[in-house]
Amino acid sequence: MPKSALIIGASGDIGMTVATEMAADGWSLYLHYHQNQTRVTTLQKQLLQDYPKQDFFAIQADLTQEDAVAKLTGQLFQVDAVIYTAGATTYGLLPEVSATALDHLWQVHVKAPILLMQQLQAKLAQSPLGRVVLIGSIYGGRGSAMEVPYSTVKGAQSAFVNAYAQEVASLGITINVVAPGAVDTKMNNQFTTAERAAVAAEIPAGAFATPAQIAYWVLSLMAPAADYMTGQTLYVNGGWLK
Ligand SMILES: NC(=O)c1ccc[n+]([C@@H]2O[C@H](COP(=O)([O-])OP(=O)(O)OC[C@H]3O[C@@H](n4cnc5c(N)ncnc54)[C@H](OP(=O)(O)O)[C@@H]3O)[C@@H](O)[C@H]2O)c1
């Protein structure tokens, strides 16, 4: 069966790994990016070369923009799965966070995926698979000082999934959050080596996850036999408990 997925944030480190592994598993992909066009077009070229019988399309959207989701969904045909990995954080004590930054966090992590589900629900219900995975965060469960608004929107992703899974289970759609602890990606580039070592020391596994260790669980949720797993937040955190 030809199967087609939309990866929101395919230009990110987790998104690129998920895309590469899904392509190897026979998926055609819509590869979304915001600013990193070159990353996605390079990935697209490579995937077209490796898997010439599958389709790979690049789609640009800034998800802080009100009309971004409608523009994006207007470009889609078959969609059997959605992987939502777009995200960014804002560091600082709460009184320092601007209202605009709050709006952007809400828009990218919560409003855009909800609008996306509203617009793609019918397509997902038509599919024999109908899978949705949001990449959340351990901070959505345990919270983090200096990242209070980010922790809040990550928690909202899990709350959305809890509720929405109940509405669409009878349509054959599953929706889950894969919530990493710390992952070795460009999102953490601003930390010094010492700061990263301090975080790693808090993690029982003693290290950040690789993007592949997160992608593994996303791919697992795509399997036909995973069709009874829905409404859950899977913490993938090396024992760094929520
Ligand atoms: N890295 C970690 O330690 C960690 C831990 C827990 C959860 N997470 C979550 O994992 C997900 C993926 O993060 P990552 O670590 O792979 O980070 P990353 O490499 O920085 O990727 C972030 C992705 O989000 C996209 N994005 C950011 N702002 C956007 C906007 N306004 N509109 C549309 N797309 C936007 C980026 O697009 P462009 O690059 O094209 O601009 C990129 O594709 C995020 O939701 C993050 O919160 C990460």
C-alpha distances in angstroms, 28 versus 12, 43, 201, 218?
Answer: 18, 13, 39, 16
Element (H, E) at 106: helix 99-106
Q: Are 156 and 233 in contact (CB under 8 A)?
A: no
pTM equals: 0.98
Q: What is the pLDDT of residues 109-162, one digit of tens each?
A: 999 999 999 999 999 999 999 999 999 999 999 999 999 999 999 999 999 999
Neighbours of 202 (CB within 10 A): 11
- How many A from CA of 136 to the centre of ligand 1? 10
Does residue 41 have its Cβ closer than 6 Å to ligand 1?
Answer: no
- How many A from CA of 1 to the centre of ligand 1? 30
Q: Which atom of ligand 1 is nearest to the CA of 10?
A: 43
- How many A from CA of 198 to the centre of ligand 1? 22
Does residue 188 have its Cβ closer than 6 Å to ligand 1?
Answer: yes
The better pLDDT of the pair 242, 170 is held by 170
Which residues participate in catalysis according to the annotation?
150
Backbone angles phi, psi at 203, to 5 degrees: -90, 120
State residue 242's pLDDT score.
66
Q: What is the pLDDT of residues 211-240, one digit of tens each?
A: 999 999 999 999 999 999 999 999 999 999
Domain 3-236: give its CATH code.
Answer: 3.40.50.720
- Structural domain spans, the chain: 3-236
State residue 45's pLDDT score.
98
Q: And the tokens for 48?
A: 């077209």
Backbone angles phi, psi at 77, to 5 degrees: -110, -110
Does residue 135 have its Cβ closer than 6 Å to ligand 1?
Answer: yes
Q: What is the pLDDT of residues 61-92, one digit of tens each?
A: 999 998 999 999 999 999 999 999 999 999 99
**Cβ neighbours for 12, distance < 8 A, ≥ 6 positions apart:** 36, 85, 86, 87, 185, 186, 187
- Helix, strand, coil tally for the chain in percent (to 5): 50, 15, 35
Q: Is the pLDDT of residue 3 over 90?
A: yes
Q: Which atom of ligand 1 is nearest to the CA of 107?
A: 31
Does residue 86 have its Cβ closer than 6 Å to ligand 1?
Answer: yes
Does residue 64 have its Cβ closer than 6 Å to ligand 1?
Answer: yes
What is the residue with the minimal CA distance to atom 42 of ligand 1? 12
- How many A from CA of 45 to the centre of ligand 1? 22
Does residue 71 have its Cβ closer than 6 Å to ligand 1?
Answer: no
**Over pLDDT 70: what percentage of the chain?**
99
